[in-house]
Amino acid sequence: MPLAVNHCGNFVNLASVLNILLINEGQDPPAAPSPFARISRRVMTDVNNVLSLSAVRMKDPEWINPKIIAFDLDCTLWPFWVDTHVTPPFHKNADGTVLDARKRHVEFIPGVPDILKELHRRGIKLAAVSRTGEIAGAKSLLKLFDFEKYFSHIEIYPGCKVAHFSKIHRETNVAYEDMMFFDDEFRNIADIKKLGVFTIYCPDGIEAKVVDSSLIDFDKSRSKRS
């Protein structure tokens, strides 16, 4: 199936793109939901029961958690590229909303605070791993969204993410096999998978049910139980 690239740089089905173009030749197409609206609806359905399946399985005394879970930022924790889709610097309004320099509302993917809070509560170290060149903007958003407190490692700089993971590995002495990584870009997943990290490709960003099932899959893959 031919592929095109969507707003976040991911490959999408070219047929759906062509369909929209063909509709445009005739009459007005129906309003397509924005990617952010789609993500909003999706996450609101599972955010009330954050990571519930793995919470039950964790009662097994032989359960194995990752020692570090790393998250990409752009299009994984928030639904945009910080260097192109929004305009730093960012600030927080009196009502608690975050705005960019053009006074546009900047939001994270719904459900992310609950996911980070629950993983942190379980004692798993969390890392933010981004290759954006907009380093100050990304760090500012981590602070303004109140995510910074959950991350023991924040590695944000351009280049292949092997460098980011090597630094975390050197500083923590945690084996790559004990790490988990979520990213919306397949090139990063491919690079980090080669290190032995348990990788999860999430082209539509993070969601609780995917984190939950990934924790269960990680335990199965690392467990010596038959």
Give catalytic residue positions: 72, 74
C-alpha–C-alpha distance, residues 85 and 128, integer Å: 20
Q: Which one of 43, 51, 68, 75 is in contact with Mg ion (CB under 5 A)?
A: 75
Nearer to Mg ion, 74 or 219 (CB): 74
Residue 156: beta bridge partners? Answer: 130
* Pair 99, 105: CB distance under 8 Å: yes
How many CB atoms neighbour CB 60 within 10 A? 11
Select the span of 45-53, 68-76, 161-169, 204-212 touching Mg ion (CB under 5 A). Answer: 68-76
Residue nearest Mg ion, CB atom distance:
74
Q: Which one of 43, 50, 71, 74 is in contact with Mg ion (CB under 5 A)?
A: 74
| Residue found under tokens 């919306």 | 184
Of 88, 82, 81, nearest to 8 by C-alpha is 81
Nearer to Mg ion, 46 or 184 (CB): 184
Nearer to Mg ion, 48 or 84 (CB): 84
Nearer to Mg ion, 74 or 118 (CB): 74
Which amino acid, 162?
A: V
Q: What is the token pair recorded at 214?
A: 């990934």
C-alpha–C-alpha distance, residues 205 and 207, integer Å: 7
Q: Which one of 46, 72, 155, 178 is in contact with Mg ion (CB under 5 A)?
A: 72
Nearer to Mg ion, 168 or 178 (CB): 168
Residue 49: beta bridge partners? Answer: none
Q: Does 204 bind Mg ion (CB under 5 A)?
A: no
- Count helices and strands (H / E) in the chain: 8, 10
C-alpha–C-alpha distance, residues 55 and 79, integer Å: 27
Select the span of 72-80, 96-104, 157-165, 170-178 touching Mg ion (CB under 5 A). Answer: 72-80
Q: How far is the CB of 95 from Mg ion (least distance, A)?
A: 28
Which amino acid, 152?
A: S
Q: Does 184 bind Mg ion (CB under 5 A)?
A: yes
Q: How far is the CB of 75 from Mg ion (least distance, A)?
A: 4
Q: How far is the CB of 131 from Mg ion (least distance, A)?
A: 8
- Using CB under 5 A as the criterion, which residues of the chain lie in contact with Mg ion when the complex forms? 72, 74-75, 184
